[in-house]
Structure 1
Amino acid sequence: MESQPETPQHRARDRGADVPALTQETEGTPTARDDGAPARDEGPPARFDGTPVVPSRLRRRLLALLLGLAAGIVAVDQVTKHLAEARLVRGEIVPLLGDALGLQLVYNPGAAFSFATGMTWVFTIIMVIVAVAVLRVSRRLGSTAWAVALGMLLGGCLGNLYDRLFRDPGFAVGHVVDFISYNGWFVGNVADIAIVGAAVLVALLAVRGREVDGSLAVDVERRGRGADA
């Protein structure tokens, strides 16, 4: 009888060892489970709490979007404030859309509707806290929509924070330059528009259940239950 060529499997069998057969696997192909069924794709890797791990490259790109948008808002806000100071007479209204929208230069020591005008330093602290909070949250960024929302919020806060820190009457108690009059109800600026837009976008993302890392809240909860099991 003609002898068969000796193979690594034959040698291993002779030694009593089990050697897995050599197979070629295509990258990204799910491996088989112990019962022979193909393994289900579980998606991107997740932490123990069920939240996905955002790839560093994506996080850097979204962080650049956030910071770039914030810087652009601050620049537009400050330029328009300087133009308003240079071309508008304080207190005088210049109609744009009748009484609904106009230009009126005012210096606001408080919040919207001139609320808490004697507590300027409190709003300075709040803006600093919000800016720091945005930067901390940005470390988990995995969603373009959240990057836009946080960029708008950061830009709006920094735009008004600049006024609080560096405008008269002094450091941390400076008055914010407002010049966009809304039907005489209140006067705002570009930074205020960015903050309001950010609030609306955050609310929409919350309703949809979209997390900062890009996942959906229901998926995070499902992953968390799976990790606990």
Structure 2
Amino acid sequence: MNARRLELIAPAGLPRIRRDDDLASLIAPFGLQNHDVVVLAQKIVSKAEGRLFRLSDVIPSEKAVELGRQVDKDPRLVELILRESTEIVRAVRGVLIVQHRLGFVMANAGVDASNVDDPEQVLLLPADPDGSARRLRARLKELVGVEVGVIINDSWGRAWRMGTVGAAIGAAGLPGLIDMRGQPDMNGRLLRVTEIGHADEIAAAASLLMGQAAERRPVVILRGLGPPARDGNAAELVRPRQMDLFR
């Protein structure tokens, strides 16, 4: 039986990312090959897109002040979370779970201060992560001449498990979700419910090398998957509200 192999590569030397930096031009020298998947940490995409906000410039609403008191968070931070959200799912001391305007159910709408140079600033998710992934993919094709997949990776907690894992919030050039329903298992029985979070699995694997603290490996190249089954995005990973049995 032939062995299968995947390779994960975390290049070093990427500079600190600033607003309007051309991420693709910084990644282009990394020796990309056809059908590689380029996984980028959400933070460098957000920084390049100018998604940094200074808390001193935020005027909290009455709702943000009251909610901040309830969850023991800076009301200016809560104001930004509310602006990025469509629904508060859970609010208790120290915890604010919301539905992000992109559909993700997550803590603090992804608003975060880690690995942000200025302690008075916080970073929001990209405005359109799937769009960001599409633009990065097209720019890499322009610069390097190869077809790659692109995933924008964020670190999420999980409802039923401890710890954070990488999750795809943006994707292009590969399916976010692979539907295996109707395919036979080893014994010929047809799968009835199996759908694979393909982009999430890649994001989680890349997180092993990216790390969560001071590793400074915000780009990981995954090699060996081969041609993608189809193009797709991360939006297809969002569970529709009518299928959410826990809200």
TM-score (normalizing by structure 2): 0.24
More strand by share: 2
TM-score (normalizing by structure 1): 0.26
Structure exhibiting the larger radius of gyration computed from Cα positions:
1
More helix by share: 1
